[in-house]
Amino acid sequence: MDAPNLLNPERRMLLQMQKNERSSWSLDEILDACSWTDQAVAVGAGHGLENHGYVSMNEVIITEIRLDENGKKAIASGLLEQRLWDWMNSVKEPSMQALQLNFERHEAGPGVGLLKQLGVSIDGGLLVATDASLIESTLKQRNDFLNSLPADLGALDESMLKHFRQRKGLISSLEQTIRTWSITSSGKAVENEKLKENVVISEITPELLQTDAWRDAEFRAFDVTLESTTPRRGRAHPMQALIERIRSVFLEMGFSELVDDYVQTAGWNMDALFIPQDHPAREMQDTFYLENPSKMELSDELMGKWKSIHEDGGETGSTGWGGSFSFDTAQRPLLRTHTTVNTIQYLAQNPKDACRVFSVDRVFRKEAIDRTHLPEFHQIEGIIMEEGANLQMLVTTLKTFYAKMGYPEVRVRPAYFPYTEPSLEIEVKWHGKWLELGGAGIFRPEVTEPLGIESPVLAWGMGLERLAMLVLGLDDIRQLYISDLEWLRQQPLL
């Protein structure tokens, strides 16, 4: 027989099987003969030899009946019925009352039931056994049964098995695959001279590579199935990674990024957007106003335009909001409540040039912190201004954006914002539910005309953290900001 191309463990196992006349080998016998401790090595070697046709493997599935928690206790301190029976025989008058004193509640109740099954009856408050020897023999049978465990299902008495299966926690069964290996005639025919083990190389050295020795060497295999530690390295926070992805999606769609300050005037944040000066969202409880400075100057000319729009609609044909417009209110500094404050200023500076602009930036609202709200969060804002821009184009743009982010199902629903007409709410489908992610619309003439904008402006503003919750599968928005290192390490690379 030719020298087979065997690995060391296979050589060792085959050699042992040749040396010993045993007709079949259990796993333990192989481990023992080969001086191995690792079962996986033995199973692997057996498998390899089987592939070469040198051994055959036999598998039987057996069901082992073993002691469960209560069964082990019964072995240690006796079955409940045994203990009751012993007690009955140790006292002069085994009354129910005495039993309740000597055994705990949870034992006394079921215990009496067990005794009755065994043939004990209650007579005038006393426990009486009619056939003591029958009881003794049943108890012996039960004890013997438990003491014989663990055992193969087939070897056990069926009525005992049925009895103990009905009782809680005494026994349980476990299916096991038992493998045995036998050497085949071609296995026997391999010359044992050829079964000398090779030197196994676990480290490659320059010397080894310089000679020809590596050609015939056996290398220690890596077990790629073993658990290992994940190498840790620096990485972007998932929020930052998401922002980067959003940036690249917008850049890909031909947008340029706008970055601007978050300290703004109420004038730009609200008045320019035709939000009435008595709008509830402008109240102190919804908006963070600055104490210092208490005023940021805006030009009278600009405020004059807003004033006329707000009071009576100016030249737009709108009726405006009525009332009287306050320059003081317009000049109050605040932390921006939305990033629309920045796109509108961009338009004011570039009223005539067609553009596509986006931003991903921080906004502030006086929100109580909970599972879905933070006082500081981010918006994904964008505008498209160009001749002929229309609602269809707005919807398509938003759908394209979300599709690129991995959410192909998007729908829009009518909504209301003081600065757009029509106004939309954007929803995406996630886990079968529609989730609102933001608002959009076409700026009203009350917004565009005072700034000298002539083409239609499509605009939208969407929550970034909401999107992050979808992408990362979160049910609590705060997770994004608590710097939980373990969680951060586990986040997928976006």
Binding site for ligand PHE (CB under 6 A): 338, 340, 417, 420, 438-441, 459-461
405 versus 459: smaller Cβ distance to ligand PHE: 459
Please state, in angstroms and rounded to a whole number, the distance separating the CA atoms of residues 14 and 6.
10
Please state, in angstroms and rounded to a whole number, the distance separating the CA atoms of residues 298 and 276.
18
11 versus 378: smaller Cβ distance to ligand PHE: 378
- In a 3-state reduction of DSSP, which class is residue 460? strand
Please state, in angstroms and rounded to a whole number, the distance separating the CA atoms of residues 299 and 304.
8
420-430 and 433-443 as β-strands: parallel, antiparallel, unpaired?
A: antiparallel
Instruction: Say how many residues make up the chain.
Output: 494
**Alpha-carbon separation of residue 80 from 100, 119, 138, 484 (angstroms):** 14, 15, 13, 51
49 versus 309: smaller Cβ distance to ligand PHE: 309
* Shortest separation between residue 434's beta carbon and ligand PHE, angstroms: 17
Tokens (6 digits) for 209 = 């590579």
340 versus 397: smaller Cβ distance to ligand PHE: 340
> How would you classify residue 328: left for phi > 0, otherwise alpha for psi between -120 and 50, otherwise beta?
alpha
316 contact partners, CB below 8 Å, separation of at least 6: 309, 445, 446, 449
355-364 and 256-257 as β-strands: parallel, antiparallel, unpaired?
A: parallel
* Shortest separation between residue 439's beta carbon and ligand PHE, angstroms: 3
10 versus 361: smaller Cβ distance to ligand PHE: 361
238 versus 439: smaller Cβ distance to ligand PHE: 439
- In a 3-state reduction of DSSP, which class is residue 97? helix
Q: Are 436 and 458 in contact (CB under 8 A)?
A: no
> Cα angle vertex 433, ends 431, 439, to 5°?
120
* Shortest separation between residue 429's beta carbon and ligand PHE, angstroms: 20
**Residue with structure tokens 């972007």?**
236
6 versus 453: smaller Cβ distance to ligand PHE: 453
185 versus 392: smaller Cβ distance to ligand PHE: 392
164 versus 443: smaller Cβ distance to ligand PHE: 443
Kindly tell me the burial class for residue 379, based on how many C-beta atoms sit within 10 Å of its own C-beta (0-12, 13-18, 19 or more): buried
Q: Which DSSP string do the residues of 131-182 spell out, in sequence order?
A: -HHHHHHHHHHHHHHHHT-SEEGGGS-HHHHHHHHHSTTSEEEEEEEEEEEE
25 versus 364: smaller Cβ distance to ligand PHE: 364
Tokens (6 digits) for 221 = 């295999």
Question: What phi and psi values does residue 220 have, to the nearest 5 degrees?
Answer: -70, 130
Q: Are 334 and 266 in contact (CB under 8 A)?
A: yes
Question: Residue with the closest Cβ to ligand PHE?
Answer: 461
* Shortest separation between residue 475's beta carbon and ligand PHE, angstroms: 22
* Shortest separation between residue 382's beta carbon and ligand PHE, angstroms: 8
* Shortest separation between residue 423's beta carbon and ligand PHE, angstroms: 6
65 versus 442: smaller Cβ distance to ligand PHE: 442
Instruction: Write the single-letter amino acid at 256.
Output: S
303 versus 440: smaller Cβ distance to ligand PHE: 440
* Shortest separation between residue 465's beta carbon and ligand PHE, angstroms: 13
First to last CA, the chain: 57
* Shortest separation between residue 397's beta carbon and ligand PHE, angstroms: 13
* Shortest separation between residue 320's beta carbon and ligand PHE, angstroms: 20
* Shortest separation between residue 472's beta carbon and ligand PHE, angstroms: 22
* Shortest separation between residue 361's beta carbon and ligand PHE, angstroms: 12
* Nearest residue to 361 via CA among 428, 286, 261, 272: 261
> How would you classify residue 334: left for phi > 0, otherwise alpha for psi between -120 and 50, otherwise beta?
beta
Please state, in angstroms and rounded to a whole number, the distance separating the CA atoms of residues 283 and 145.
80
* Shortest separation between residue 458's beta carbon and ligand PHE, angstroms: 9
